[in-house]
A and B are shown apart, each in its own frame.
Chain A
Amino acid sequence: MKQVEVTLNVNGKDTTLTIPPRMTLVDCLRDELRLTGTHVGCEHGICGACSVFLDDEPIRSCLMFAVQAAGHRITTVEGLLNEDGSLSDLQDSFWECHAMQCGYCTPGMLVASESLLAENPDPSEDDIREAISGNLCRCTGYQQIVEAVQMTAKRRREGAANG
């Protein structure tokens, strides 16, 4: 099996890997870099469990080859933690609101939600539902996820006002 060398920048760190060119980004993140927070749900781009940031855009890492990600910044759920390892305000709000049950879709939901909040600090409920509508959750019925995003937005606005 042909192998290629590729350097990926993941969560701020460069790693050079020798992998088959057909390896998907999600398999590379999980199996080669052992960043298992990103999950595989459908492998055809519908469920969103494998969402990661490519530069500043949320993408489906099941629909991209790892080699295509060279030269970009990749951020996974592990990279959403604060630098000191504590939970980000979004992660903390997901915990506070119990915005999950089994936790399988959660990393993708965090990526979709973070992407929305970066663009829109004061999203309406409809905005939030639109932003997470490409991520399927089978446990929650989405409501507590919507509430967690609302809570984060409120915390950030209040933080900005106070800071």
Chain B
Amino acid sequence: MVDAPANLPNYRYVSRKRRTKEDRRFVSGRGKFVADVEVPGMKHVAILPSPHARANIISIDTSAALALPGVHYVLTGDELGEATNSLFHGLDLPNVIWHPLAVGMTRYAGEWVAAVVADSRYIAEDAAELIEVEYESLPAAVDSEKMIDEDQPLVHPAHGTNVLFRKTWEWGPVADDFASMPNTVSYRARWGRSSTVPIETFGVVAKWDDVNEIMDVWASIQMPQYQDQIAAALRIPMNQVRVHNDVDVGGSYGVKRGIKHTVLVTYLTKKLGFPVRFIEDRLDNMSGGDAHGPDRIFDITMAFDDEGVIKSMKIRALDDVGAYPGRAPLQLGKPMTALCGPYRINSIEYEAISVTSNKTGQVPVRGFGQSPTNFAIETGLERVAKHLGLDRIEVRARNLVRKDEFPWKIPPGSIYDSGDFHAVLDGIIKTSNWDDLVARRDALRAKGRLAGVGIATCLEPGGGNNIFEFLFNPKLEITTFVESVLMKVEPTGAITAVMCTTTSGQGHETLVSTIAGEELERDPDTIRVLHGDSLEALPTRSPVASRMAIVLGTATSKAARDIKSKMITIAAHDLGVEKDQIEYADGEFTVRGNPASKLTWAEICHIAHKQFHRMPPGHELGLQAYAVQQVPGAGGLPDENNEVPLYPCFSFQAHVPLVEIDPDTGKVKVHDYFIGHDCGTAINPDIVRGMIIGGVAHGIGAALYEKFEYDADGQLLAGTFVDYLLPSAHEIPPVVDSEHCTPSPLTSLGQKGSGEGGYLGAPAAIASAVNDALAPFDIEINELPIRARDIEAALYEKTR
């Protein structure tokens, strides 16, 4: 269970064991997911995918499909491409055109070529099989390393190259630092193409009302600026798009970004005049959903002294975003936020290269590129220790930022707000009984097994502020990254808060109600939290970037404090004293020193709504407040050295797993997993703990099992859960979570982010443990996932 932090303030709801607001409906079978939305008269879409990785579309014959009873329409790329605008890319790529259905050419196996609308999904699938497409198959571009210097088939011929972005930044005196250090290590680390693969696929229902001129959208979405992108693609004003944010999203972790699905369906409902629904099946999701994650090769050199203190590093990151980049190339930018991890590194050279290929498109995945980067950095820490014959923990301890050095600025400009990295690291060494783990490892080895203990630390930047995007595309001069809350108190005293985006498991209703309850000293169970639709809602940038506790949480505090201030003003006026004479506690507003002179919560609510004659002159009637919260510290552009503070709050973790490897099969068993964790004030400890352990599980998947494998011709080899392996309860060990609390100075209650951290550290920790197990055989594998067959092959090579 979670250890209660020792230095916890005397909160009554925050950081206390409390049931969540959301879980009751889920255990009752009463969640409302997108596939549960039933709009009268809605029809169903099925997709015809391309079987070719790269091909010209010569002709499409839809006549047989249209003749099938129950079929209403067959849409192809030519029509949709004419009628809608190209979808949004993060980079400035005017010649990379992206439509939901292929236009003229297919660019990956699984790309959507046509869409059928029918009375049922069954009939739509039947009809899709009757569409006859004549293709001219072409060679595919698959190998990302060949995109830069070799002649490769062009994914987007009009763009002229498969390189979408290539730039090198230098922060600090890299050459001088390298010259001053006696040691360097160079290595390659590779992150395989995996993703978060939620159990719920993406789905969307849309209904165009031509009388009221409004497009209602229900979707399994987690994405900033969703309604903006729908409106832009359909060429309609944003206030004709109403996204219903009260849809429960069945897992996302970054990837639920079905803009192409949504443009397809919204176009169809507007064209056909009836509601239309598309729910991906699993193959749609894995092959054609454009929801793959980073696919990255790092080449890194670190320069360090004889004590293992790292002074500088050079990173080259080559990422394959697949056929349609969307926002994916920007995942090379977010890691700038913590480019040197939790370490005191003086200078960094960073070359980011984004290439396109004939593979399914990439989307933002939990951490927005940070997990691969952290794996690559931690691999370097292991290398430095090995090079000098030093202890792996000691090398990390020597490089960690020290407690008394915060706020600490790193070379690219981010300012680490707070932390006590050494305390967390020391704590997890104690909690895990490190020496005992090593003894167990050695006992396993003595029995002829392979065993290893791993270590990794990592930072979890939280809060957002995507001004790094400006370094990739100066047109993205966006310096606001807001989240909002509207709070109101009814005449009877009940509190309702409106948040402005969807939730995909993060427990935002619990977050808002807990903080509002804490601030106002009202029971959170009595506070209702709504998800306002996009037309009612205040500005939002959606629950990405491990940001909601930070930004939505702080907005909630501000709105609640504003309400409290208004109530004190009303009380002071009615009781005939100055505002500073009023004390508030437990629902009562009392004149200081005169306990008999007081008003209750309910009385003030009644006055505010019903008794103008008792209100302070000129005071707003009713009791409501809203807060639009900017990310703390955000708002500036990069300076002339390309330095800019990015995310504001930094959570920290140290991970320690013990693994055993079957020497015959190479199968890895994770026996134990310990994590020391500091995310400042945990609003709900059960939610934080679940996020951490779930993130670790997700990281174990990325480290050992999950990969969207392609063959040399660009055919996807992992389109089902038989080929793409998600870890089950067998593969995930019990995780011991030890909490430390260093409150952030930048948020209302000291909270930081916790949604990504488990995933950011686990892959590096598992790789560390596996390589410790393989060390006696002088084997080191720095390519994820490290699958059983990879280990078995490496062992065979060494021992044959």
Contacts and interface: CB of A to CB of B under 8 A. Distances in A.
A6 B734 CA distance: 45
Interface in B169-222: 196-201
A103 interface: yes
B734 A102 contact: no
A98 interface: yes
A44 B721 contact: yes
Contacts of A99: 23
B720 A44 contact: yes
B35 A36 contact: yes
Nearest to A131: B729
B7 interface: no
A20 interface: yes
B28 A87 contact: yes
B250 interface: yes
B663 interface: no
A99 B35 CA distance: 22
B29, B248, B252, B689: most-surrounded residue (chain A CB, <10 A): B29
A46 B720 contact: yes
A87 B24 CA distance: 9
Interface stretch (A53-61, A133-141, A154-162): A133-141
B69 interface: yes
Contact of A141 (B29, B506, B697): B697
A110 B23 CA distance: 13
Contact of B251 (A92, A104, A130): A104
A144 to B, nearest CB: 6
B728 interface: yes
A128 B734 CA distance: 12
Interface in B245-304: 248-253, 279, 281-282
Contact of A125 (B505, B698, B734): B734
Nearest to B200: A104
Contact of A103 (B250, B279, B721): B250
Nearest to B29: A37
Main secondary structure, interface of B, reads: loop
Given A41-B200, A134-B728, A100 B26 contact: yes
B31, B123, B279, B758: most-surrounded residue (chain A CB, <10 A): B31
B730 interface: yes
Given A98-B20, A138-B197, A42 B721 contact: yes
Interface string B50-90: 00000000000000000001100000000000000000000
A39 B33 contact: yes
B248 A138 contact: no
A43 B281 contact: yes
Given A23-B122, A103-B250, A104-B31, A46 B691 contact: no
A136 B251 CA distance: 12
Given A46-B721, A138-B198, A103 B20 contact: no
Given A38-B29, A139-B690, A140-B693, A133 B729 contact: yes
Given A41-B282, A46-B720, A143-B734, A94 B505 contact: no
Given A103-B22, A144-B693, A138 B282 contact: no
B800 interface: no
Contacts of B504: 102
Nearest to A36: B36
A104 B199 contact: yes
Contacts, number: 186
B728 A133 contact: yes
Nearest to A134: B728
B336 interface: no
A101 B690 contact: yes
B722 A129 contact: no
B320 to A, nearest CB: 24
Contacts of B201: 41
Nearest to B700: A141
Interface string A114-126: 0000000000010
Given A39-B200, A46-B721, A1 B123 contact: yes
Interface residues of A, number: 61
Nearest to A144: B690
B696 interface: yes
A133 to B, nearest CB: 4
A102 B505 contact: yes
Interface in B12-35: 19-20, 22-31, 33, 35
A97 B686 CA distance: 8
A105 interface: yes
A81 B721 CA distance: 31
B723 to A, nearest CB: 10
A106 interface: yes
A132 B734 CA distance: 14
B778 interface: no
B735 interface: yes
Contacts of A129: 729-730
A157 B460 CA distance: 42
Given A22-B122, A42-B721, A138-B698, A132 B19 contact: no
A42 B696 CA distance: 23
A124 B95 CA distance: 59
B694 interface: yes
B507 interface: yes
Given A102-B198, A125-B734, A138 B726 contact: yes
B741 interface: no
A98 B201 CA distance: 23
Given A39-B33, A143-B735, A136 B27 contact: no
Contacts of B730: 129-130, 133
A10 interface: no
A104 B250 contact: yes
B38 interface: yes
Contact of A104 (B20, B198, B722): B198
Contact of B69 (A1, A35, A103, A144): A1
A80 B720 CA distance: 30
Interface string B497-514: 000000011110000000
Interface string B115-150: 000000011000000000000000000000000000
A28 B721 CA distance: 24
B19, B251, B279: most-surrounded residue (chain A CB, <10 A): B251
Given A46-B722, A101-B694, A103-B505, A144 B35 contact: no
Given A132-B729, A140-B697, A103 B25 contact: yes
A96 interface: yes
B199 A138 contact: yes
A10 B70 CA distance: 29
Given A44-B722, A49-B199, A125-B734, A102 B249 contact: yes
Nearest to B692: A141
A34 interface: yes
Contacts of A125: 734
Nearest to B720: A44
B689 A144 contact: yes
A101 B698 CA distance: 14
B23, B201, B281, B695: most-surrounded residue (chain A CB, <10 A): B23
A102 B722 contact: no
28 contacts: A30-B35, A30-B36, A36-B29, A41-B200, A41-B201, A44-B720, A46-B720, A47-B726, A78-B28, A87-B28, A94-B27, A95-B23, A100-B27, A101-B251, A102-B198, A102-B504, A104-B198, A104-B199, A107-B29, A130-B730, A132-B728, A136-B721, A136-B726, A138-B196, A141-B758, A143-B693, A143-B734, A143-B735
Given A102-B250, A130-B729, A138-B198, 18 more contacts: A37-B28, A44-B721, A44-B722, A47-B199, A47-B726, A49-B199, A87-B24, A98-B19, A98-B23, A101-B505, A103-B248, A104-B199, A135-B728, A135-B729, A138-B196, A141-B690, A141-B693, A143-B735
Interface of B: 19-20, 22-31, 33, 35-36, 38, 69-70, 122-123, 196-201, 248-253, 279, 281-282, 504-507, 686-687, 689-691, 693-698, 720-722, 726, 728-730, 732, 734-735, 758
Q: A-B pairs with the 4 shortest C-beta distances? A: A37-B29, A103-B26, A104-B250, A101-B505
